[in-house]
C-alpha cells in the first residue's frame, strides 16, 4: 500500500491536473449529496414574474422560461445525473466483470457465448443501441441506467476476460485450487479480487462516457421527464431559447455537464497512471 501511495504522490506531482480533477470530483460529490439542502431556491418552483431573467446576484445562473432558478436546478440535478452514471457503471461492472472473468477462466463455451454477446453489442453504434433499448423498455430513468450498462458491458467483459485469462494459471490461483476450493470459489474469491484494480480504472474511465450518454438520451426526450431537473433535459429546454439569445438557460447546465465529464475523464486517466502505469499512452 505504501509504495502505491508514494507512486500516487509521484503521479500527482508529475501531473497536477489529476489533483485538480480530484478537487472537482469532491465538489461534485458534495453537490450530489447536499445539493437539495444547498440550493437557494426550490428547483421546481415556477414564478411567471421572474421568467427568462439573465444571471444576477439573486439568480447566479439566471432563470428559465418558467422563472425557476437555474443555479438551484443545476445543483440539484447533480445527484440524478451522477446516480444514473454510477448505477449504470456498477451494473455494467457486475455484468461485465462476472461474465468476462468466467469467460477468461473457463474458456470454451462460456468464452464463446460471452464473446459473441459482446461482439453483437459492439456491432451497433452504441448510442443508437441505447436509444433502441430505452425505446423498447419504456421511457423510464431506470431504463437509461440499463441501456447505458448494456452498451458498456463489452468493454468490461473484454478487460475482465483478458485479465482472468492471464491469471488462470498463476501460482496463487493454483494454490487456491490445490487447497480444496471449488472452481466458483476460486473464481470469485481469488481471481476476481485480483483484477479489481484494473476494473476500478475501467470504471472511472467509463464514468464520463456514462454521464454523456445518459445526458444525451434525456436531451432527445428519453428517460428523465420534465419538470425533473437533469442537465441533458435542461440543455434541451434551453435549446429553444438559443435563437432568441437567452443563452444562460442552456449554457450553465451544459457547462456543468461538460465539467463533470471532463473531471471523470481526467480522474480516469490519473487513476490509470497510478494503478497501472503500463496502460499509459
Partner 1 sequence: MLNLLLSRLATAIPSIVGVVVVTFMLTRLLPGDPAAYFAGLAASPQAIAEIRHNLGLDKSLPEQFVAYVGDLLHGNLGNSLSTGQPVVAEIATRLPASAELTLFALIVAVAIAIPLGVLAAVKQGTWIDHLCRVVTTAGVSLPVFFTGLLFAYVFYYLLQWAPAPTGRIDVFLSPPTHITGFYLIDSALTGNLEAFWGALRQLALPAISMAIFSLAPLARMTRGSMLAVLGSDFIRTARASGLSPRTVIFTYAFRNAVLPVITTLGMVFSFLLGANVLVETVFAWPGIGLYAVNALITSDYAPVQGFVLTMAILYVALNLTIDFVYGLVDPRVRLDS
Rank residues 104 and 254 by Cβ distance to partner 1 and give the closer one: 254
Tell me which H or E stretch contains 166.
helix 141-167
Is 276 a residue that touches partner 1 (CB under 8 A)? no
Q: How far is the CB of 244 from partner 1 (least distance, A)?
A: 8
Is 219 a residue that touches partner 1 (CB under 8 A)? yes
Is 74 a residue that touches partner 1 (CB under 8 A)? no
Segment lying near partner 1 (by CB under 8 A), choices 4-12, 29-37, 81-89, 219-227 = 219-227
Q: Which of 73, 232, 272, 275 is in the footprint of partner 1 by CB under 8 A?
A: 232
Report how far residue 149's alpha carbon sits from residue 151's, in angstroms, rounded to the nearest whole number.
6
Sorted by sequence, the CB contacts under 8 Å of residue 17 that are 6+ apart come out as: 266, 270
User: Environment class of residue 129 by beta-carbon count within 10 Å: exposed (0-12), middle (13-18) or buried (19+)?
Assistant: middle
What is the grid cell recorded at 34? 447536499
Q: How far is the CB of 256 from partner 1 (least distance, A)?
A: 10
Rank residues 8 and 258 by Cβ distance to partner 1 and give the closer one: 258
Is 82 a residue that touches partner 1 (CB under 8 A)? no
Cβ–Cβ < 8 Å for 281, 269: no
Is 54 a residue that touches partner 1 (CB under 8 A)? no
Is 212 a residue that touches partner 1 (CB under 8 A)? yes
| Residue 36 CB coordination number (10 Å) | 13
Rank residues 179 and 243 by Cβ distance to partner 1 and give the closer one: 243
Is 215 a residue that touches partner 1 (CB under 8 A)? yes
Is 132 a residue that touches partner 1 (CB under 8 A)? yes
- Site map for partner 1, 15-34, x if CB under 8 A? --------------------
Report how far residue 98's alpha carbon sits from residue 71's, in angstroms, rounded to the nearest whole number.
41
Is 138 a residue that touches partner 1 (CB under 8 A)? yes
Cβ–Cβ < 8 Å for 80, 224: yes
Is 14 a residue that touches partner 1 (CB under 8 A)? no
Report how far residue 92's alpha carbon sits from residue 46's, in angstroms, rounded to the nearest whole number.
37
Q: Which of 5, 30, 38, 128 is in the footprint of partner 1 by CB under 8 A?
A: 128
Name the nearest CA neighbour of 37 among 72, 84, 85: 72
Sorted by sequence, the CB contacts under 8 Å of residue 232 that are 6+ apart come out as: 81, 214, 215, 216, 217, 218, 219, 224, 253, 257
Site residues (CB under 8 A) for partner 1? 116, 119-120, 123-129, 131-133, 135-138, 208-209, 212, 215-216, 219-222, 232, 235-236, 238-239, 242-243, 245, 247, 250-251, 254-255, 257-258, 261-262, 265-266, 269, 281
Amino acid at each position: 500500500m505504501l509504495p502505491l501511495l508514494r507512486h500516487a504522490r509521484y503521479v500527482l506531482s508529475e501531473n497536477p491536473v489529476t489533483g485538480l480533477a480530484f478537487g472537482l470530483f469532491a465538489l461534485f460529490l458534495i453537490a450530489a449529496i447536499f445539493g437539495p439542502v444547498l440550493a437557494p431556491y426550490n428547483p421546481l418552483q415556477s414564478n411567471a414574474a421572474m421568467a427568462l431573467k439573465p444571471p444576477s446576484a439573486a439568480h447566479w445562473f439566471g432563470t428559465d422560461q418558467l422563472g425557476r432558478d437555474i443555479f438551484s436546478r443545476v445543483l440539484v440535478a447533480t445527484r440524478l445525473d451522477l446516480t444514473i452514471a454510477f448505477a449504470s457503471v456498477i451494473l455494467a461492472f457486475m455484468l461485465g466483470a462476472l461474465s468476462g472473468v468466467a469467460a477468461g477462466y473457463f474458456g470454451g463455451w462460456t468464452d464463446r457465448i460471452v464473446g459473441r454477446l459482446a461482439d453483437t453489442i459492439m456491432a451497433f453504434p452504441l448510442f443508437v443501441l441505447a436509444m433502441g433499448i430505452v425505446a423498447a423498455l419504456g421511457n423510464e430513468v431506470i431504463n437509461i441506467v440499463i441501456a447505458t450498462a448494456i452498451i458498456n458491458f463489452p468493454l468490461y467483459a473484454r478487460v475482465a476476460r483478458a485479465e482472468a485469462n492471464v491469471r488462470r494459471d498463476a501460482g496463487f490461483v493454483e494454490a487456491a485450487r490445490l487447497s480444496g476450493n471449488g472452481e466458483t470459489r476460486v473464481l470469485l474469491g481469488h481471481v476476481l479480487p485480483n483484477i479489481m484494480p484494473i476494473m476500478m480504472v475501467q470504471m472511472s474511465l467509463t464514468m464520463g462516457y456514462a454521464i454523456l450518454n445518459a445526458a444525451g438520451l434525456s436531451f432527445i426526450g428519453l428517460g428523465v421527464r420534465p419538470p425533473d431537473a437533469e442537465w441533458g433535459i435542461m440543455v434541451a429546454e434551453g435549446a429553444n431559447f438559443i435563437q432568441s439569445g437567452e443563452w444562460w438557460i442552456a449554457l450553465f447546465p451544459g457547462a456543468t455537464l461538460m465539467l463533470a465529464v471532463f473531471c471523470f475523464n481526467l480522474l480516469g486517466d490519473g487513476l490509470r497512471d497510478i494503478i497501472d502505469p503500463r496502460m499509459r499512452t
